[in-house]
Amino acid sequence: MSELTELTATRLVDGYRKGEFGPVEVTRAALRRAEEIQPEVNAFVRLLAEEALERAAASEERWRRGEQLGPLDGVPVTVKDILLLRGAPTLKGSRTVDPAGRWDEDAPSVARLRERGAVFLGKTTTPEFGWKGVTDSPLSGITRNPHDPSRTAGGSSGGAAAAVALGAGPLALGTDGGGSVRIPAAFCGIFALKPTYGRVPLYPASAFGTLAHVGPMTRTAADAALLLDAIAAPDSRDWSALPPGPGSFSEALGGGVRGLRVAFSPSLGGQVRVDPGVAAVVRRAVERLAGLGAYVEETDPDLADPVEAFHTLWFAGAARVTQALGREQRERLDPGLREIVREGSRLSALDYLAAVDVRMDLGRRMGRFHDTYDLLVTPTLPVTAFEAGAEVPRGSGHRRWTGWTPFTYPFNMTQQPAASVPVGLADGLPVGLQLVAARHRDDLVLRAAHALDEAGVTLSGS
């Protein structure tokens, strides 16, 4: 059973095809693993064992008849409790959401997976409304790091990251408005991709607007490409969704990095103080990229820290998502969320539009940067996982989670594809390397990450 939980989605599908094992056996193993890890790491708000086994049995029969619905048929997947999953309450980490809703609709990404026969194991934890870079909430408590439960899993897709890292399903759907798939991926030692904005449709629209992306969280880039192939399909409910991509992301993985122009920015021009252990692990991985044939230059993008503009956009979104709540309900919110809601409520339309201006200029500068460089490489985070239950590292002097995530949120503002690749350990804790490409070049990010997998650089391998 434990061996099945260690297999990637691509390996599971190969095993189904060869008749080595079936979706029911795999799903039972994944559910058992989820139950085992839940008391210590708290990755799930809800397991859907009965429904999962029913879908696995139907998938197994399709595989027996040779009528499978595609390469994800029978593969276990988890869904962050921000995204709608038909038949299961989506409470968003909040005691202000009524569980007795209709819950009769899937989010677009979930709908595409349902059509392709994927098996939904359950809903994973999130901070309230996904507002911060760690995962704890008044509703579901603290989600802990799979490498050290005294430390945070990161957030806001922390439950998804912990589940993947510990074998409770090889695939997870997360959301990312300021780093929320990449932060927990880096802390938990898995792979995650924030695709180009609109590549994966989102419905209902996020209160955080076009900062919010849906992305795959997996052990390998190959699994992420497999998942992205399924969920990167237009949906009429999202007017901002992109048209279908030019081809299969899985088929584009094999191009390698030879000849790619890579800019390595270890600290964004000295703006970020990076832990020495993190810096050393990331530098070694960048050296391997060069060894694989990439042209690597240590240089920095023209990227003044846009944190104030990001705060304006983010705090306004938080105020909007809680706008309909009465006084009693507001008192039940996470105290940190209440603080930023108050700040967001004081902002004017002109404040918001000024932040949009900053965002547009940032996007222009990054677009010009990628005229010269195919990829930008940075650390995903300047630190390793810190104390669980805290928004910021103790003694850091930071006020909000954005203080320790300066490498992630800028690329939500620019809508670029960005991934966190697990490239080693510092003091026994995972370190992530961030790969960023120009908008619409998700294929380049996945190719480079896959090359690192194939070269044995990553924690998860391939």
Q: Is the pLDDT of residue 368 over 50?
A: yes
Overall number of domains in the chain: 1
Q: Is residue 357 part of a domain?
A: yes
Domain at 29, CATH number: 3.90.1300.10
User: Which class for 325: exposed (0-12), middle (13-18), buried (19 or more C-beta within 10 A)?
Assistant: middle
Distance CA 128, CA 95 (A): 9
Q: How confident is the model at residue 460 (pLDDT cuts 50, 70, 90)?
A: low
Q: Does residue 331 form part of some domain?
A: no
Per-residue pLDDT for 1 more than 60?
Answer: no
For the segment 231-255, what is each residue's pLDDT rounded down to a tens digit?
Answer: 999 999 999 999 988 899 999 999 9
Alpha-helical regions (H) of 166-249: 182-188, 221-231
Q: What is the pTM of this model?
A: 0.98
User: Is residue 334 one of the residues assigned to a domain?
Assistant: no
209 assigned to some structural domain:
yes
420-456 pLDDT tens trace: 999 999 999 999 999 999 999 999 999 999 999 999 9
Q: Tell me which residue range forms the domain holding 124.
A: 2-307+346-454
- Rounded Cα distance between 206 and 184, Å, is 20
**pLDDT at position 462 over 70:** no
Tell me the H-state helices in 120-209.
158-165, 182-188
Nearest alpha-carbon partner for 165 in 113, 136, 124: 124
Q: Find how far residue 316's CA is from the centre of its chain.
A: 22
Residues designated catalytic = 80, 156, 180
Please give the pLDDT value at position 2: 59
136-137 and 119-124 as β-strands: parallel, antiparallel, unpaired? unpaired
The gap from C-alpha 290 to its chain's centroid, in whole angstroms, comes to: 26
Task: Let me know if residue 13 belongs to a domain.
Answer: yes
What is the predicted pLDDT for the residue at 461? 42
- The residue type of 93 is G
- Whether residue 323 is contained in a domain is answered as no
89 lies in some domain: yes
337 within a domain of the structure (yes/no): no
* pLDDT tens track for 321-350: 999 999 999 999 999 999 999 999 999 999
